[in-house]
Amino acid sequence: MSEAVEALLKTGKDKMEKAIAQLKREFSTVRTGRANPGILDRVQVDYYGSPTPLRQMSQVTVQDGTTLVITPYDKSILKEIEKAIIKADLGIAPNSDGICLRLNFPPLTEDRRKEIAKSVKKMGEEAKVAVRNIRRDMADGLKKSEKADNIPEDMVKDYQDKIQKMTDKYTGIIDADVSEKEKEVMTV
């Protein structure tokens, strides 16, 4: 087996795994009916002139399944955190009591659940496109290796089959993750 092709397969597999990891990160920011601290991962707070992730400057806890409590380590930045949450447009207004912020997650309407499920499908499609692009890059690399290393035609066919099987495996994982997330979103 050609070393160049082995490296190509390993690199492709790593990239496909990263595409799935990215999809899971995106899913963690999707709002379901329950309070999830992951929704705050994209929130950046202006802390003395530099954007800082909210989760680095405060403690975030889930209270009774539908409320997030954000307690800043430095009480003087409470207003800045509140502004950052409003600016992030999460669809939830923060309530401040001077010590901490509370984010109450109201139950989602049926229409909103359908919208979210649609965006989950879109995220899944984007991940599949990324996996297919990786497959295409691997196939192109295989063609170059075929010419450079004089790989026999039957071995090239075997490598192409391996690449396709790898692609099918990862698109299957994406489909399973998408349907699981859709089910979570649609559950009342």
pTM above 0.85, yes or no: no
Which one of 104, 131, 149 terminates a domain?
Answer: 104
Q: How far apart are CA 55 and CA 155, in angstroms?
A: 50
CATH number, position 73:
3.30.1360.40
Q: How far apart are CA 37 and CA 95, in angstroms?
A: 16
Do 87 and 100 lie in a common domain?
yes
Write the pLDDT tens digit of every residue in 10-45: 999 999 999 999 999 888 777 776 777 888 888 888
Beta carbons within 10 angstroms of residue 63's beta carbon: 12
Domain that holds residue 84: 37-104
Do 99 and 7 lie in a common domain?
no
Do 7 and 41 lie in a common domain?
no
Write the pLDDT tens digit of every residue in 74-112: 888 889 998 888 888 777 888 988 899 998 887 778 888
Which one of 104, 124, 141 terminates a domain?
Answer: 104
Q: How many domains does the chain have?
A: 2
Write the pLDDT tens digit of every residue in 37-69: 888 888 888 888 889 898 889 999 888 878 889
Do 21 and 67 lie in a common domain?
no
Which one of 104, 120, 138 terminates a domain?
Answer: 104
Q: Which of 25-29, 116-120, 148-152 has the highest mean pLDDT?
A: 116-120
